Structures are given as structure tokens and as C-alpha cells.
Amino acid sequence: MDSFVYHAPTRIVFGKDTVDRTGTELAAYAVKHVLLVTGGSSAKRTGAYDRVLASLKEAGIGHTPFEGVTPNPSLELVESGIDAARACKAKGVLAIGGGSVIDCAKAIAAGVYLDDYWAVVETRKPVTQALPVFTVLTLSGTGSEMNERAIITNEPLAKKWSLNGLCLCPKVSIIDPQLQAGLPWRLTASGGIDAMTHVMEYYFRGRLADAQTGYFHEETTLQICEGLLRSLILSLDELQKDGANYSARANLAWAACWGLNGLSGSGLSGGDWTSHALEHAVSGMYPAVPHGEGLAVLFPSWMEEVYDKVPDIFTRFARNVWGVDSPQQGLEATRAAFARWGAPQRLSHWNIPESAIPDMVKNAFAYRALGRLTPLSYDDVMRIFMRVL
């Protein structure tokens, strides 16, 4: 098992009607005025917005609205949010939304202390100063509510890159699963698949320690990952039948949170993350591609490229997650589940042409080291894209 640091400092307030506690939670941090960041209309449609406002008012906390964050948020949006936060002298940033709104809020929180946000992203160095971030989660999947990164797209450069820093971990995240009760199935599935891929990006770096007993070096973490994956799969199946199933919403939300807060990756050498780099290359160039759906297309193709090179962990995955025997059956079960949940299966779903692929491969290599689990050449990565064109 690799050495690691586990640090998950976000206070989670979880359960029915917890959205009404937003003001009290912020008051504990002596925050007097926040920039209130939201997306299109879901914060208002779910009732979360009015309830947050009422609770801020009761706690004597002022707010300045910053509305209209779009999925796969752009640098331009972040820059106008930074101006808004400076203008209202915000003492904190409160997000109501999914990963895009939360990431935008984190970027603004750090950006108020930076002269040039993107220049810092390009250095790959963690930021050390940010306004305190608070979130009210309305869409589970990314894990942004409990981690230290913000993913923003520089559209002119077609780069979708992350900014990291401990100061970006939200101080408090309110997870009220009832706010997700009316989510369209497509968004539920996309979030759940994203969460599954976070766990799997780490999981496949597990190494067999004892061929006779089947014991792995990272046994504890792998068992946690398998539990998270099985719960995500079951919860998605339940929600596909009945989107109003509170227990399934709650379990999906909790498992997604743990999918990317450090626990599922402990001892697993930082994971692989090739599929995420590929998806960021796609949605960096085509911002209309939802993150989870892009992964539903690319992750199985990546699995197909690598599974026979690391058979021990893929065999374990097949058996312990899907109850089937071989790596190939594990891959097929994953692909079949994504299809059963209605996720797109090819890049052509978004009219992405073959001619765009070389640039996407280049972008992915520029973003991060690819093929940490098993080496991947430029041609291998081309093949991962071409297989699902």
C-alpha cells in the first residue's frame, strides 16, 4: 500500500430539510456577506434558493446574487464572478447547484486573491488563499462538495483544467437529498456514472499481493471502493424505477461524495485518471458535452484498451462488483449498465467529427500524464477515441 495523506476537512450537513440550516452553518464562521452563486433556474425551481435566502436573512447574513453559471463553466464566467465578489466585498462564497456551480464558486473564491486566474492554473501549483466556500448541493456526482479542486474551461484555448488547493475545500456542504427529487433521469444517471468513474479511476491501481489467497496490497481501500460501486449501481437502478425514492437519492448522494474526497484513493498511488483527461479534452473543445455522459462513452473504451495488461485487478473488479468471472465480462457489464441507464455510447451523439480527435489527444496529453496504470502511447489514446467515434 502506498503512503498517503488523507484530509477531508469539509463539514457535511446531510439529510431532509438541512437546506434550512444554511444560515446557521455560515454564521458559525462569522461570515457576514456572501456572493451567492447559482446556475440557470434549478436553484429556484427546487425551492432551494428561497429557503437559503430565508435562512440567511434569519442569521443576519447579507448576499449578492451571481446567477447564470452554465455547465462546464468558462474562465470568462469566473472572471465576472471575481469582479462581483470584489465589488460587494464578499466575505465568503455560497454555491447552490451541481459541480459546475460549485467549481465556479471555488474558482471565484480563489480568484479574488489572484491577478491572473489562468496564469496560476497553468503553473499547476496549489493555491493557498481563498474566501471560505460553502455549498448547497443539488446534483450528486462530481464530489466537488467535499474536495479541493475546481475545473474551469478556458474556451479560447480549449483547455479544461483544474485549480487545486486545500483552501478550496468547502467549509460546509449541505446535502439535502430532497433537493434532487425532481432531477431528470438523464442528469441523475450522468452524475451517478461520474461518481462511479471516480472510484474506478483509483480502483484499478490495486495490486495483487498474494496469488494464492487473492489478497491485494490495498485490500481495505479496494473493499471500500467495491462497496461504493455496488451502492451506486443499486441506487441508480432504484432511481431509474422511481426518481422520488428518498433512500436511493440519499445513498447515491453519500456514495458520490465519498467517491472523490480522498478515501476511495487512499494507498492507490493517486489513481490513473486517463479517462478524465480524455473527457476534459472532449468537453474543453465541446462544452455542450456533459461530463458524466462523456465519461460513459470514454471509460469503457479505456477499460477495453488496458484490461488484458492488468488482469488481476480487472478480474477482481468483475467478480466483486458485477458477480461475473472474467475481465471482459466485467467490461461488458459496465458498458451494459451505462447503456441501460440511457447514457450515450458514442462521440457521434454530439456530432464530434473524426477530424477533431488528434487535437483532443494532444489536449489530453498536455493536461496530465496519461497511462499511469499501464503506459499509453499516442496511438493507444487515438484508438480509445476512435473505438467510440
Catalog residues that contact Zn ion under the rule CB under 5 A: 194
Nearer to Zn ion, 18 or 190 (CB): 190
Query: Is the CB of residue 135 less than 8 Å from the CB of residue 52?
Result: no
Q: Is 292 in the site for ligand NZQ (CB under 6 A)?
A: yes
Taking the complex as a whole, the smallest distance from the CB of residue 152 to ligand NZQ amounts, in Å, to 8
Q: Which of residues 228-267 bind ligand NZQ (CB under 6 A)?
A: 260
| Cα separations in angstroms, 29 against 10, 35, 93, 110, 132 | 13, 15, 12, 18, 9
Q: Cell 490513473 maps to which residue?
A: 272
Taking the complex as a whole, the smallest distance from the CB of residue 219 to Zn ion amounts, in Å, to 25
Helix, strand, coil percentages (3-state) for the chain, rounded to 5, are 55, 10, 35
Taking the complex as a whole, the smallest distance from the CB of residue 222 to Zn ion amounts, in Å, to 20
Q: Is 182 in the site for ligand NZQ (CB under 6 A)?
A: yes
- Answer for which of 74, 147, 188, 221 binds ligand NZQ (CB under 6 A) is 147
How far is the C-alpha of 387 from the C-alpha of 389, rounded, in Å?
6
Query: Is the CB of residue 35 less than 8 Å from the CB of residue 63?
Result: yes
DSSP at 163: E
Site string for ligand NZQ, 335-374 (x = CB under 6 A): ----------------------------------------
Nearer to ligand NZQ, 186 or 383 (CB): 186
When CB distances are held under 5 to 8 angstroms depending on the partner's kind, the choice from ligand NZQ, Zn ion, none that residue 218 binds is none
Q: Is 170 in the site for ligand NZQ (CB under 6 A)?
A: no
Choose among 286, 259, 274: nearest CA to 344. Answer: 286
How far is the C-alpha of 184 from the C-alpha of 187, rounded, in Å?
6
| Cα separations in angstroms, 206 against 132, 135, 283, 298 | 35, 33, 29, 21
Nearer to ligand NZQ, 43 or 303 (CB): 43
Nearer to ligand NZQ, 5 or 211 (CB): 5
Q: Is 284 in the site for ligand NZQ (CB under 6 A)?
A: no
How far is the C-alpha of 262 from the C-alpha of 177, rounded, in Å?
22
Handedness of CA 295, 285, 103, 47 (dihedral sign): negative
Q: Is 180 in the site for ligand NZQ (CB under 6 A)?
A: yes
Nearer to ligand NZQ, 35 or 318 (CB): 35
- The β-bridge relationship of strands 92-97 and 133-137 is parallel
Site string for ligand NZQ, 32-71 (x = CB under 6 A): -------xxxxx--x------------------------x
Instruction: List residues binding ligand NZQ (CB under 6 A).
Output: 39-43, 46, 71-72, 97-101, 103, 138-139, 141-144, 147, 149-151, 179-180, 182-183, 187, 191, 194, 260, 276, 291-292
